[in-house]
Amino acid sequence: CRNLILVLGDQLSPALSSLAGCDPARDIVLMCEVAEETGYVRHHQKKLVLILSAMRHFAEELRALGHRVCYRQLDAPDNRGSFTGELIRAVEAFEPERIIVTEPGEYRVLEAMREWATQTGRPVEIRPDDRFLCSHETFQVWATGRREMVMEFFYRDMRRRTGLLMEGDKPVGGRWNFDSENRKPAKPDLFRPKRPRFSPDAITRAVMDLVTNRFGDHMGTVDGFFFPVTRQQAEEAADRFLDDFLPHFGDTQDAMLRGDPFLNHSLLSFSINIGLLEPMALCRAAERAYLEGRAPINAVEGFIRQIIGWREYVRGIYWLHMPDYVSMNFLAAGRPLPSFFWTGETNMNCLATVIRETIDNAYAHHIQRLMVTGNFAMLAGLDPHALHEWYLEVYADAFEWVEVPNVIGMSQFADGGIMGSKPYAASGAYISKMSDYCESCAYDVRRKTGEGACPFNALYWDFLDRNAEKLSRNHRLAQPYAAWRRMDDSQRDSYRRSARLFLEQLDAGSDV
Ligand code: FAD
Ligand code: DLZ
Ligand code: SF4
């Protein structure tokens, strides 16, 4: 053939750059399920079902568009187990003049791609991934010479560049950011509309069998899988979100409620990340909802900020700072992850709830990831690299370019402040304010130290004390450090003792 076009499992978009100019008469599209990708972490079973089923459906979509697709299943007896191995096999079979790919979302895969020309004896064209709105070059120019990289300023540039929610050069509604209106706790809402659930078809059921047989010891089960696996289903899920949930998105954005794992979140990250939804089209649809009076500005601005702001920003940070970024450990934390991260078996109700929901759904929303599991990990000094692997494993939307900056940077401050200007550390009071988890917890959130006290309370002060040399000069932490210094010695000792006792129990593997 003329061109051999390799499409990866998170590149399931017909408008993908590598497919531009593809001539079905002369070019072949290669897609491969390979052990290297299913095995670089022990992916949650529902994540595996999502990706493999969506890949198989995308191959069908491409065939319906007239493309010639060579699709390699994981259980094919001669599957060579890696992108490189399968690419070489395809080169031997089809003798292409050239190989074309869209750049991957992971540094590891980019490094492999750079060897392909030598390994196959064919020129390899690596095209930019223009599904993102900000190119590497634009981000680099934006970041160059800045003392402090602040997402908010990047976001404003993105609003100007895309014209989203703009009136000329002014933000719609007179403000760039309505976050101050989005920090409310939530009340149980029995009338909240139900999520669309997509029943597995024959392709998904075959993948579910494969995953159960081969990866049945990974987190979760395939049972109850309901994610969209085709573009049409993802678009239906997006429409339902825009109609039913977006109007309340802002109000409950930071809230956490028992028995309501999704609140008004979109559950669209995995569809966007694997290419079933296009970020800009989604933002335009949300903007329309505001302009037509179907959703308020705080909701729509908040949603659009997550996508053209945070999502693009974290990708910029990842590529700017890899390969070193993933091993950063500014606070020199090294404690292994407790086993309850895989079972949810802990008396701390916030962690038990979030981890059990993660096991059930391969999903947790942002505040659960940041202020429950992430916050606990940072306060307890868990190893950020092990934590990064955990997040990559358990969430269906986890790909390195987005997961690493969120974990190493935003949640653990292991990058020393590249992503955010201060660590997201909080005591039990924050969790108590934003959730109903504490009401049924074995620990008492109001007790600061001693028997039965919420562990987050002592861990919070102990974290600040332990890391004072690295953090006390951070002006955004001036207030808590001043409060720490104002305490009398016995109070400070009591916090240190409680934290030490808790961490000793954790290290001993005792029930906590
Ligand atoms: P919504 O709350 O409905 O938000 C809308 C969209 O905005 C999301 O679908 C997503 O595309 C985007 N978005 C929101 N916040 C972020 C963010 N911080 N970074 C990038 N995009 C964002 N997101 C991932 O896609 N993959 C990950 O592996 C991932 N790991 C995370 C780990 C930690 C520790 C933290 C704190 C956050 C992580 N996030 C990750 C970001 C965020 O939590 C998820 O995007 C979000 O929870 C997905 O659910 P949703 O689609 O319902 O989001
Ligand atoms: C995550 C994943 C998994 C589990 N399996 C495959 C696969 O078998 N084949 C494939 O092409 N892609 C898979 N992926 C997604 C890739 O890991 C992802 O494309 C790279 O990490 C680059 O982002
Ligand atoms: Fe979590 Fe503490 Fe509240 Fe229990 S009391 S749910 S451990 S914050």
CA dihedral 445, 446, 447, 449 (to 10 degrees): 70
Superfamily of domain 3-127, CATH level 4: HUPs (3.40.50.620)
CB 38 less than 6 A from any atom of ligand 1:
no
Query: Which of 76-80, 86-90, 183-187 shows the lowest per-residue confidence on average (mean pLDDT)?
Result: 183-187
* Biggest alpha carbon–alpha carbon distance for the chain: 79
Q: Which CATH number fits domain 136-198+227-321: 3.50.50.60, 1.25.40.80, 3.40.1360.10, 2.90.10.10?
A: 1.25.40.80
Of all ligands present, the nearest one to the C-alpha of 76 is 2
Query: Which of 31-40, 233-242, 243-252, 462-471 shows the lowest per-residue confidence on average (mean pLDDT)?
Result: 243-252
325-338 pLDDT, tens digit per residue, is 999 999 999 999 99
**Using CA positions, which residue lies closest to atom 5 of ligand 3?**
445
From 214, 172, 183, select the one nearest 75 (Cα to Cα). Answer: 214
CB 38 less than 6 A from any atom of ligand 2:
yes
Q: What is the predicted ipTM?
A: 0.99
145-164 pLDDT, tens digit per residue, is 777 768 999 999 999 999 99
Residue 192 carries which DSSP code? P
In this prediction, residue 473 has a pLDDT band, given cuts at 50, 70 and 90, of very high
Does residue 122 carry a pLDDT above 80?
A: yes
Average pLDDT over residues 99-116: 98
Compute the distance from residue 274 Cα to the ligand 2 centre, in Å. 9
Average pLDDT over residues 110-128: 98
CB 398 less than 6 A from any atom of ligand 1:
yes
Q: Given CA atoms 15, 19, 24, 29 in this order, what sign does their dihedral have? A: negative
Average pLDDT over residues 111-118: 98
Tell me what the pLDDT averaged over the chain comes to. Answer: 96
478's tokens: 């001036």
Average pLDDT over residues 164-176: 95
In one letter, which amino acid is 433? K
In one letter, which amino acid is 3? N
Does residue 224 carry a pLDDT above 90?
A: yes
Compute the distance from residue 53 Cα to the ligand 2 centre, in Å. 12
Compute the distance from residue 446 Cα to the ligand 2 centre, in Å. 45
Is 340-508 a CATH 1.10.579.10 domain?
A: yes
Start-to-end CA span in the chain (Å): 61
Contact 154, 313 (CB under 8 A): yes
Share of the chain above pLDDT 90, in %: 94
In one letter, which amino acid is 311? R
Of all ligands present, the nearest one to the C-alpha of 43 is 2
392-450 pLDDT, tens digit per residue, is 999 999 999 999 999 999 999 999 999 988 999 999 999 999 999 999 999 999 999 99
What are the residue ranges spanned by the domains of the chain?
3-127, 136-198+227-321, 340-508
